[in-house]
Structure 1
């Protein structure tokens, strides 16, 4: 399938699937070309500062208001903050890959909430989900009024049909769909699974580089946006939506992916994680993981994120006289981790691709005992971390695991044992 993309993070993009479908000189002419309707889509407030303001003008066959009455749609696995859980615990938690569905299941049906924080109604916090799908969405479309979706595929590629166009995303890439954008997810080469972060807070943006300067981390040019593409399809379809923590469905007699042209800054995008330009030490000590931040959702406290999306990609490690894995630590920030491929350097056993771990605020964690022993005695030559990709959803708010996640057969009951055989090495007579 041939897809074309527009480049640049949060640029004012424009695209049209038919010539002259975009108005020139104004956004809402008295009559649009081809008999299209003009519709403005805003994912920030009208009066947000220019640098943060995100809106897009859509030129579509039918306006979005043309839809039936919404009724509740049962999907008990997708939950919304605030989570009321019976099993809140400061213990470190880790899961194997969650069980796959046995019945035909599309992307929205296969969404399972693992943990959440904050409150969607006040637009604070995030939720972490796990998805499975063994069939494409065909006559079902979806939008999320509660939050922006950051999708991290782990198994097989997916094809997102969105109002602004199509994006094919494979493991090692990410997809971000702004709050409110209508889309459907199709399978490309078999059943899919992966991770989703539902961001209730400020839209994701590139982090500031600070003293790093003008280059490094994720570069604007490497973010890809879809070119305009539309469906002119009529029939009996379902429009699903998530609003105020409840899922709804409504009948719709046409495809809502009928945008012929668009212009603006609020649109779905994808990013290839292999393009991330990692920064690291060339002298000593293991730097803070914040140097691996790809995208951030800021909070009202400067420097303290509602959400940081952090990756641990292939890279060189050359630190001198240094314990190279992550040090043992306790954080104000809470960390939800997943593994896309390979082995994570601090956890060589038990943390497998498709698995997850959760280390909440002030919960101590770090390398397992065998990793500590090996790293403490390793010969310190330049080392290439190859064939690995782990990630972290990090938030200032503690994650509350759902009861479903805590009762899952995938939850590892013995995870904390990985530290239990750490020896006492202290000797007061020997430096």
Structure 2
């Protein structure tokens, strides 16, 4: 999916001898999230990336599902998730199915005494509040408000925050995140009609090679269990790498909205594709310009998808009482649309400054216990007001 990148020192040919100044061999590692059948990178370590010296007792961290089946509109106050010091402890899964987990987090501290690896899922971390750096074997990625950080499963990372006030919207995907196929040429380049291009994709920079021996804890999640794996050498001992599988950042502020004379359907906002769900970005844009246009979205039936909207900023003409960090869930099987009065109110408006992230899943989502703790009661009746 991303384009080819090379950082640091690598040998002329892959899978050949690559020697250190002292004559020893660097240790080559192939990294791919779909075996040997998809994009990959080759990393060259000072030490073999396999030297486990100790393991901790595993901890079950699987989400606790509270409602497996339901058919009513729901709403949740995302900012009511309480901040916690530790990054992993702060992550609260609120909506889940077999394709993805939707997670909220408000970490207060950087990861300094451990590293993290999600061995199950690619991660899409949307930065709602906070700045900092993602540190990986591939190099560093500086992030700020509005950034989507895409992290392939199996990537070892640390996040260092600049402040204690951080709000994250995270999607864990059990399939890789891709660019939508309709945006791509047959050779994989983003086409002219795509709402973003390769220039908008920020790859890792500033590769720092750390040659240290000691006790380095990598907390690794697999099948809802967190394992503490201690390695004898620092995981960021990579002298160089190249390939097309690595973490990267795309900013929602670089998404170029597609508009028309009449209201455009949600697929024009699509940003990422995955197995059985999509991610869309609703960004500031001009409204429809037909003389009789109705800027508010029309009522629509969710017959085969659950629609999740995470509100980031701005005024939303289609809905009342929207707050920052609010999540709405409109499940498959029943229609939804603008709140009473919103259609007439939208007529004549020229633009919107709304900013939101949408996740449409093609299999039903389940509510966790964490979701029920932050639910807005009575939301399903709000169209009758």
TM-score with structure 1 setting the length: 0.81
Cα offset, 1:244, TM superposition: 1.8
Equivalent of 1:319, from 285, 289, 294?
289
Decide which of 134, 149, 172 is 1:175's aligned counterpart: 149
- Change over 3 Å in CA distance of 1:247–1:29 after alignment to 2: same
Q: Does 1:419 align with 2:373?
A: no
Aligned equivalent of 1:113 = 93
Following the alignment from structure 1 to structure 2, what is the Cα–Cα distance between the partners of residues 384 and 98? 27
In structure 1, the residue matched to 2:335 is 364
The answer to whether the Cα contact below 8 Å between 1:139 and 1:236 also exists between their aligned partners in 2 is no
How many angstroms apart in 1 are the aligned matches of 2:318 and 2:153? 35
| Pick aligned residue for 1:287 from 264, 267, 291 | 264
Q: 1:244 to 1:213 in 2, by over 3 A?
A: closer
CA distance in 2, matches of 1:363, 1:185: 40
SS in 2 for 1:68: strand
Unpaired runs of 5+ in structure 2?
none
Question: How much does 1:196 deviate?
Answer: 0.6
Tell me: CA distance 1:146–1:102, structure 2 relative to 1, closer, same or farther (3 Å).
closer
Give distance in 2, aligned partners of 1:213 and 1:155. Answer: 31
Q: Which residue of 2 aligns with 1:4?
A: none
Q: 1:15 aligns with which of 4, 7, 12?
A: 7
Shift of 1:201: 1.9
Unpaired runs of 5+ residues, structure 1, are 1-8, 119-124, 300-305, 422-431
CA offsets, 1:254-299, max 9 Å, x none? 3212212110110000012222121111x23x121000111111x4
Tell me if structure 2 keeps the 8 A contact 1:129–1:195. Answer: yes
Distance (Å, rounded) in 1 between the aligned partners of 2:194 and 2:179? 15
Equivalent of 1:93 in 49, 53, 74 = 74
Q: Which residue pairs with 1:30 in the alignment?
A: 17
The corresponding residue for 2:371 is 405
Q: Does the aligned pair in 1 maintain the 2:33–2:154 contact within 8 Å? A: yes
State whether residues 67 and 367 of structure 2, in contact with CA within 8 Å, keep that contact through their aligned partners in structure 1. Answer: no
In structure 2, C-alpha distance between the alignment counterparts of 1:231 and 1:273, rounded to whole Å: 32
Tell me whether 337-346 or 165-174 shows the greater mean CA deviation: 337-346
**Secondary structure of 1:109 counterpart:** helix
The separation in 1 between residues aligned to 2:298 and 2:231, in whole angstroms, is 54
Pairs aligned (count): 375
- State the distance in 1 between where 2:105 and 2:2 align: 27
Equivalences for residues 268-307 of structure 1 within 5 A? 268-281=247-260, 283-284=261-262, 286-297=263-274, 299=275, 306-307=276-277
Q: CA RMSD in A?
A: 2.3
Aligned ranges 1:51-90 → 2 under 5 Å: 53-74=38-59, 76=61, 78-79=62-63, 84-86=65-67, 88-90=69-71
Q: Which has the higher mean CA deviation after the structures are superposed, 257-266 or 67-76?
A: 67-76
Per-residue CA deviations over 1:59-87 (Å, capped at 9, x if unaligned) read 112222112354444364x52xxx75346
Q: Do 2:312 and 2:356's aligned partners in 1 also have CA atoms closer than 8 Å?
A: yes
